[in-house]
Each structure stands twice: as C-alpha cells, then as structure tokens.
C-alpha cells in the first residue's frame, strides 16, 4: 500500500523544527513490511499537499500533530484528503490523549494512540483485508458516526522497531547550532519516564514506564549521520536519558568504544547523578545537559510530585561546571495557587544555581495530566471540547488563565526577564565569552527566510515581534523586577 505520512505545520513555531523521529520510525517499519512510504514535513516544506496526492497517489494518509498549535494545519489537510476518499489517520502525543476531540472534527477516520509503528501496520492490513479495526489495540476510530476507543496497546519492546532509515528526509535541513557543535540533530535512545509529575503528559502517555532502545541501533544511526552528513552533535530527545547508573555506564562505554566521534547532550534528573557519573558522561562526549527542576520551593516539589532534592540539584550544577558540561535548568511559574512568596523562593533558588542557562515558562494545562484533572474537578476550568478550546489555554510565555495567586503581569515580567538574560548571556565553547545564544537566535530567525515561503516570512516577522515583547516586559516594569530581585 502507498502510505503518505505528513508532519503537520504550525504558525507558532518559534525555533527551528525538530526532525520528525516518530514518522521516520513508522516509515521505516512500514517499508520493511512491504509498503511504499513518503514523508512530507509541512514544518519544513510547506506548500500545497494536493501535488503529493496527485503524484504519489496515497491509499492512506497519516498525520502527526504533536501540539495543539499544529491542529489547524492538520484539520485543513484532512479536509483536502477526505475529498479524495482517502482514509486519514492521526497520531502523536496530543491526539493520543484526546482522540475524541480529533475524531469530532469529522474529517479524521482513525487515531493511533501511543506507539504508531505496529498499530499503523495492523490498520493497513485491516484495510487491505477488509477486517474490523475493533481488534487493533491502541486505535480510536469512527464507526457509523460513533467514536470507538479500543483498549490500550501494551508497550512494545523497542528492539522490535528497526534502525531508522534517514533517507525519507534531508537531515541537513534540521541541523541546529549548539555551543559545541554547528551540525546538531535530534535522535532518540529511549521512550518514557518513571516520574509522576502532576503537570506533565508522561504519566498518562508513558504510564511511568521507561523503555530503552538497543544501543547498537542508536550508534548505527549516528554513524550513518556522521559519515553521510558530517554530523558533529547529537541531542538525545528522550524525556529521561537513563533510568539508573548501570544503564548510563553501559551507554557511555559503548559510545566510547564505537569511536564514531561526536558530542552529545540529553535531559536528566537533577538530583541523581554523582560527580563520577557526570565525569563518565563527559569522557564519552557529553557536553550539555538539560535539567527540569521546575520549582525552587521544597513544598511545591512535593505538590507537583517532582520531589527533587534541591540541595543535591545545586551540587549537580557545581559538578557539571567543574567538569565542563554546560547546563540548562528549566522552571515553571504560575502553578495553581502559587503565591508571591513561593515565586520569590523559586527565583532566589534560580539565581543561586550555577547553571549556564536558566529558562522559565508559565504553567500551562496539559491534557490528562493530574493537574488538569484537579482543575476540572474543582471547576477552575471547563473540560475543553475542541482543539480551539485547548488553544485558548496558552502557556510558556503567554497567559490566558492565571491559576496562581501571583498577578499575571508579574508572571510575564519574570518569564520574559529570564528570556532576555538567556539572549544576552555571555557564554560559549570552552568558557569563551561570546553571545552564543543571541547569535543562535538570530541565525535561526534568518533560517526561516531560507525556505522562501510566505510562512517562513511570517515566522521571521513573528520572531521579531516576540523579541520586542521580551524587551517590553523585561524593561518597562522596573518596580516588578525589583519586587522579585531581578
């Protein structure tokens, strides 16, 4: 069967698009099982999808929509495709958690919840053999106008999925600049996280289960990218790079023994790594780590079930600084019922951290998270019935509903002040004092123009407006900045 896989685009992308790893894995799996697959990334290519429907003549189309920001494009595409009487399948983290909202659009036939590789193959076989999709675990679909949600699919052993075939896209279009590398690409080495954080999608999506890919698969992919595209950096996009020290030890050992020669970064819990483990990671090529700390308040750490040891997290940043690993620490402000005093506690903690980048965003509601359930049950919000309703619940640098006890303007000033600190910070490779982050931002902004499309021009303008907003909130309210010691 001819299968067209589309990564839906978004007009709200404020950084360079990440390579669609999920679609690449599905495409590789389907191809190995005898199907013909093409990937179209709307975030990179844009353009009219009708030409692919005419030239490729797909018999089924899969659409990946990772955020609500890409829903409008996905719905628009689905309407075009349905006019051709071609089955439309959606997948991705958000559709997996709200399949009923996707199906209510009336232009989507199926939603694959969770891993898409096996479920998509079973769905294709069901269509070919004219059998009922009710036996396909992890699938939601419309049947005679009614929504049917099959039972969850058990998590697959990731060794069942093949080594990714990168020829479906041009990897060079996704390269990002990093402090230590000019040609960095995202690769995944695992799925899931054992954490139970109340603000996060993972407890629902991953059910607290961490799954690692065979390390030889990962190294095979990286070797191909290094040899064919002169890749010099890898960012492991996993929610959590490693569940324990034994795994990390083996991971680093195999990277070193491969002698491929690349630098890498990852996401890691801030209070688990010892100095010896971090040194081992550095020796294997690790040069940057993102740590999600999310609050500097011990009490809030308990409430959100992150339960970080904040003292140990500080020690981890010191270890990384001594070793030479650059660190990014992320925080969330504006939690439900967060107070001014609590926010001040978080800011003071942030300022005392020896991390290279301190990123701060506003709390936003995520479907099926524990905090979402709390807000609905306590009638703080009405359960969104459409993707338009979800789009109104903005986050990060925008604020639609303030669930905290902190004035909304205060939250905007705090968040944008930390954004400006990142942009203006002087840090770079080997401790050279250069405005790397400002140069990266400018470089990525001009990358939008290289696509030569209306959308790329729009994103270029949007990036400029975003910077003006950062300046406005971080410079025009000195009393608020003083209030929080900024």
Same domain, 391 and 269: yes
Displacement of CA 91 from its chain's centroid (Å):
15
Copy the structure tokens of residue 370.
């524990």
Which residues fall within 8 angstroms of residue 48, CB to CB, at 6 or more apart?
none
- Which of the listed residues 114, 149, 184 is the one where a domain comes to its end? 149
Residue 454 lies in a domain: no
Same domain, 202 and 72: no
Displacement of CA 76 from its chain's centroid (Å):
23
Same domain, 92 and 184: no
Same domain, 222 and 93: no
In this predicted structure, what is the pLDDT of residue 45? 78
Residue 398 lies in a domain: yes
DSSP 36: E
- Which of the listed residues 358, 378, 406 is the one where a domain comes to its end? 406
Band of the pLDDT at 122, cuts 50, 70, 90? very high
Residue 143 lies in a domain: yes
The span from the CA of 28 to the CA of 36, in Å, is 10
Per residue in 33-47, pLDDT tens? 999 999 999 888 777
Band of the pLDDT at 97, cuts 50, 70, 90? very high
Kindly state the average pLDDT of the residues 376-393.
85
Are 6 and 62 a contacting pair, CB within 8 Å?
Answer: yes
Are 52 and 58 a contacting pair, CB within 8 Å?
Answer: yes
Same domain, 127 and 246: no
Residue 116 lies in a domain: yes
The residues pairing with 360 across neighbouring beta strands, listed in sequence order, are 331
What's the CATH code of the domain at 223? Answer: 3.20.20.70
Backbone angles phi, psi at 294, to 5 degrees: 75, -20
Which residues fall within 8 angstroms of residue 486, CB to CB, at 6 or more apart?
347, 413, 414, 417
In this predicted structure, what is the pLDDT of residue 107? 93
Per residue in 126-162, pLDDT tens? 999 999 999 999 999 999 889 999 999 999 999 999 9
In this predicted structure, what is the pLDDT of residue 423? 84
139-143 and 110-112 strand pairing: antiparallel
Band of the pLDDT at 98, cuts 50, 70, 90? very high
Band of the pLDDT at 427, cuts 50, 70, 90? low
Band of the pLDDT at 399, cuts 50, 70, 90? low
The span from the CA of 136 to the CA of 129, in Å, is 13
Provide the number of structural domains found in the chain.
Answer: 2
In this predicted structure, what is the pLDDT of residue 177? 82
Same domain, 215 and 105: no
Long-range interactions of 178-181: CB distance < 8 A, separation 24+? 178/233, 178/235, 178/265, 178/288, 178/440, 179/287, 179/288, 179/326, 179/427, 179/428, 179/429, 179/436, 180/233, 180/263, 180/287, 180/288, 180/326, 180/429, 181/232, 181/233, 181/263
Are 410 and 481 a contacting pair, CB within 8 Å?
Answer: no
Are 199 and 393 a contacting pair, CB within 8 Å?
Answer: no
Length of the chain: 486
Band of the pLDDT at 125, cuts 50, 70, 90? very high
Are 26 and 62 a contacting pair, CB within 8 Å?
Answer: yes
Backbone angles phi, psi at 155, to 5 degrees: -65, 135
The span from the CA of 198 to the CA of 345, in Å, is 20
State whether the Cα torsion 201-160-87-3 is positive or negative: positive
- Which of the listed residues 149, 166, 186 is the one where a domain comes to its end? 149
Per residue in 177-197, pLDDT tens? 887 788 999 999 999 999 999
Number of Cβ within 10 Å of residue 376's Cβ equals: 14
Per residue in 294-334, pLDDT tens? 999 999 999 999 999 999 999 999 999 999 999 999 999 99
In this predicted structure, what is the pLDDT of residue 465? 81
Range of the domain at 310: 175-406
The residues pairing with 139 across neighbouring beta strands, listed in sequence order, are 112
Same domain, 182 and 317: yes
Same domain, 130 and 275: no
Residue 433 lies in a domain: no
In this predicted structure, what is the pLDDT of residue 76? 92
Please, what is the end-to-end C-alpha distance for the chain in angstroms? 59
Residue 216 lies in a domain: yes
Kindly state the average pLDDT of the residues 229-244.
94
Which residues fall within 8 angstroms of residue 475, CB to CB, at 6 or more apart?
420
Task: With residue 109 as reference, give the H or E element that holds it.
Answer: none
Exposure pattern of 445-483 as b/e (b: 16+ CB <10 Å)? bebbeebeeebbeebbebbeebbeebeebbeebeebbeb
The span from the CA of 74 to the CA of 178, in Å, is 31
Residue 258 lies in a domain: yes
The span from the CA of 199 to the CA of 216, in Å, is 34
The span from the CA of 9 to the CA of 453, in Å, is 13
Q: Taking Cα atoms as reference points, which of 332, 407, 404, 342 lies closest to residue 362? A: 332
Which residues fall within 8 angstroms of residue 236, CB to CB, at 6 or more apart?
186, 187, 188, 189, 264, 265, 266, 267
Same domain, 142 and 209: no
Same domain, 28 and 67: yes
In this predicted structure, what is the pLDDT of residue 113? 95
Percent share of the chain, pLDDT over 70: 90
Same domain, 131 and 223: no
Same domain, 106 and 183: no
What's the CATH code of the domain at 92? Answer: 3.40.50.2300
Residue 159 lies in a domain: no
Task: With residue 38 as reference, give the H or E element that holds it.
Answer: strand 36-41
């Amino acid at each position: 069967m001819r299968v067209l896989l589309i990564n839906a685009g978004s007009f709200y992308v404020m950084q360079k698009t990440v390579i669609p790893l999920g679609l690449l894995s599905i495409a590789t799996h389907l191809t190995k099982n005898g199907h013909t697959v093409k990937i179209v990334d709307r975030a990179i290519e844009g353009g009219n999808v009708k030409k692919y429907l005419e030239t490729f003549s797909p018999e089924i189309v899969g659409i990946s929509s990772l955020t609500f920001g890409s829903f409008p494009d996905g719905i628009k595409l689905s309407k075009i495709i349905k006019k051709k009487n071609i089955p439309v399948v959606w997948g991705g983290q958000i559709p997996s958690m709200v399949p009923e909202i996707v199906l209510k659009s009336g232009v989507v036939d199926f939603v694959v919840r969770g891993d898409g590789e096996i479920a998509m193959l079973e769905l294709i076989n069901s269509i070919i053999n004219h059998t009922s999709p009710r036996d396909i675990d992890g699938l939601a679909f419309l049947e005679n106008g009614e929504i049917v949600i099959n039972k969850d699919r058990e998590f697959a052993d990731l060794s069942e999925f093949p080594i990714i075939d990168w020829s479906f896209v041009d990897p060079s279009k996704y390269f990002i600049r990093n402090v230590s590398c000019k040609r960095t690409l995202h690769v995944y080495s695992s799925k899931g996280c054992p954490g139970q954080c109340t603000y996060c999608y993972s407890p629902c999506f991953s059910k607290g289960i961490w799954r690692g890919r065979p390390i030889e698969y990962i190294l095979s992919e990286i070797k191909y990218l290094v040899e064919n595209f002169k890749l010099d950096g890898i960012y492991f996009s996993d929610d959590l790079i490693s569940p324990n020290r034994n795994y990390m030890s083996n991971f680093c050992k195999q990277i070193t023994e491969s002698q491929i020669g690349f630098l890498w970064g990852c996401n890691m819990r801030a209070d688990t790594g010892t100095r010896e483990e971090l040194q081992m990671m550095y020796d294997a090529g690790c040069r940057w780590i993102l740590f999600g700390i999310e609050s500097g308040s011990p009490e809030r750490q308990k409430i959100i079930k992150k339960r970080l040891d904040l003292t140990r997290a500080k020690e981890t940043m010191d270890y990384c600084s001594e070793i030479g690993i650059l660190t990014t620490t992320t925080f969330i402000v504006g939690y439900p019922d967060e107070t001014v005093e609590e926010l001040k506690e978080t800011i003071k903690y942030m300022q005392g951290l020896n991390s290279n980048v301190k990123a701060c965003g506003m709390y936003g509601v995520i479907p099926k998270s524990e905090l979402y359930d709390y807000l609905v049950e306590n009638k703080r919000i009405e359960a969104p019935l459409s993707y338009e309703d979800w789009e109104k619940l903005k986050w990060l640098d925008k604020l639609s509903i303030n669930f905290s006890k902190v004035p909304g303007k205060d939250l905007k000033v705090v968040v944008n002040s930390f954004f400006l600190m990142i942009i203006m910070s002087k840090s770079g490779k080997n401790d050279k004092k250069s405005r790397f982050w400002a140069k990266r931002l400018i470089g990525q902004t001009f990358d939008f123009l290289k696509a030569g499309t209306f959308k790329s021009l729009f994103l270029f303008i949007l990036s400029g407006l975003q910077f003006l907003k950062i300046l406005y909130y971080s410079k025009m309210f000195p009393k608020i900045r003083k209030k929080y010691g900024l």
